[in-house]
Structure 1
Amino acid sequence: MLDGYTMDVLEQRIGYCFHNKALLKQALTHSSYTNEQKINKTENYERIEFLGDAVLELVSSDFLFREHPDVPEGELTKMRASMVCEPSLAFCARDLELGQFMLLGKGEENTGGRRRDSITSDGMEAMIGAIYLDGGMQPAKAFIDRFILSDLEDKRLFYDSKSNLQELIQGKLKKEFEYRLLEESGPEHDKTFVVEIDMEGECLGRGQGRTKKAAEQQAAYEALLLLRDRGYVFKKY
């Protein structure tokens, strides 16, 4: 239930207090909830998400344009795409534990919707849109700067973890590695996978996720952190 106390907790977490609480509630309302409750479908987050996506694109584009004055347009476009794609925004949403605040229908709730990347990433864009509508560009930009454009070095390492790891191990270390599925548990609609990375007998990292791909990405990220501690340098934008 999204009551006044719960909204207060979220506002403290994001560092912004809404003048219009209805906007915050709408930003957290999934279409499965409005369908189930027979509420007007315009009261879910989809329209606000549409606006938030545009605000995020503008702010992230301005950030990259100013931070990388010598990078050509094509590369800037690739950089922006990796920063605001679904897995990236879901990664940021997990830091806020945004999924736990969202209003979902029972079916979506029972199939693990609170942890689904497609829902939590949409929630991040809807939150941006709601803040923009409530307070304008300045607080929306502050939210993006704090929760999406911060700690970019580690986030980029996570976003590109599998490709970076393959390039490093096979290209620089000249070694072979593989992802090994260690565990698969839970009901069909809400499974948990545990994966480790083996490099010629050495475990470099272990990851857990709702899909094998997510578990592999987490394992690759852990492996990259380990290799970075050993002095290896990865490509940077």
Structure 2
Amino acid sequence: MKNLNDEISKITNYRFKNNAILEEALTHPSLNKRNSKNQTENYERLEFLGDSILSMIVSAILFKLFPEEREGALAKRKTDLVCGNTIAKVAKEIKLGDFIIMNNSERCNGGKCNLKNLENSLEALIGAIYIDGGFKNVERFVTQYWKKLAKDMLSPPQDSKTSLQEWTQKNKLPLPEYELAKQTGPAHNPEFTISVCIENYGKVSACASSKKGAEQKAAELMLEKINNGEESNLT
């Protein structure tokens, strides 16, 4: 088997001094490995750290790239750039799934291609680079992939939840109501079903690996339902 540090250094342009923290960043919770203090060694703690570091660095990138934009527009750009789908997209680009360490059951169920696993492991890797090499190294890695994504974003995106809320306000209707319909799957890989209800338009539901993701999908489906209803009224 090729040396993990050698392979990861090719995609991060950073070589870890501490191999243990690199392995921790790439260890899926399905393994439930424990250290001498009986603490679980997987990527969850580093993922928590990496999420905040990524958000900070992306905010700085946007602040410099768009000096004329107000806070609201910058916030919309950041939300899109640090969402699960974008993080997973970068993880797929660098083929990070090939290096995630997991048990046979998770692997056989497509764990190396699972978008949530890719998102979590990349956030953990970001956290690990920060711990092992400091801010300059992790900033260099994040900038390498996210600056181009930021430059390619011609205008601030409008997320589905915001669009749906603005539509209800424009039409003098009560604000959308989101409700957790059910949660399934194991703790390390859950699936949430969220429903959203709009007066006169009923309820729609959507599933995702996070509550925020499911809410966005439900809002998107509701907007489609509203648009289809309005088109039907015109014919």
TM-superposition CA deviations, 1:42-101 (whole Å, max 9, x none): 310010111111111111111111211121111111110100101101110111100010
Residue deviations 1:161-199 (CA, integer Å, cap 9, x gap): xx9xxxxxxxxxxxxxxxxxxxxxxxxxxxxxxxxxxxx
Q: So what's the TM-score if we normalise by structure 1? A: 0.60
Distance 1:126 1:148 in 2: 16
Partners of 2:96 and 2:78 lie apart in 1 by 22
Please list the CA deviations of residues 13-39 of structure 1 after superposition, one character each: whole Å capped at 9, or x if unmatched: 2111101111100000010112xx566
Q: Is 1:87 the counterpart of 2:85 in the alignment?
A: yes
Please list, as runs of the form range in 1=range in 2, the aligned pairs for 1:1-237 lying within 5 A after superposition: 5-34=3-32, 40=38, 42-154=40-152, 156=153
**Offset at 1:128?**
0.5
Contact 2:62/2:150 (<8 A) preserved: no
Q: Distance in 2 between matches of 1:60 and 1:151?
A: 10
Change (3 A) 1:107 1:139: same
Identity of matched residues, %: 36
Could you tell me how far apart the structure 2 residues matched to 1:78 and 1:21 are? 37
Q: TM-score, normalised by structure 2?
A: 0.61
| CA distance, structure 1, for counterparts of residue 135 and residue 110 of structure 2 | 33
SS at match of 2:3: helix
SS in 2 for 1:148: helix
Query: Is the contact between residue 89 and residue 148 of structure 1 (CA under 8 Å) also seen in structure 2?
Result: no
CA distance in 2 between counterparts of 1:122 and 1:55 reads: 13
Query: Does the 8 Å CA contact 2:29/2:43 hold for their aligned counterparts?
Result: yes
Can you list the C-alpha shifts for 1:123-159, whole angstroms capped at 9, x where unaligned? Answer: 11111100000011000000101123224455x48xx
Q: Distance in 2 between matches of 1:53 and 1:38?
A: 23
1:38–1:130 Cα change, 3 Å: closer
Structure 1 segments unaligned to the other structure (5+ residues): 164-237
Q: Which has the higher helix share?
A: 1
- Going from structure 1 to structure 2, the CA distance change for 1:140 and 1:105 (only over 3 Å counts) comes to same
For 2:71 and 2:151, the matched residues in 1 are separated by 20
- CA–CA distance in structure 2, aligned partners of residues 16 and 38 of structure 1: 27
Q: Is this contact kept in 2: 1:28–1:102, CA < 8 A?
A: yes
4+ residue segments displaced more than 2 Å:
37-42, 147-154
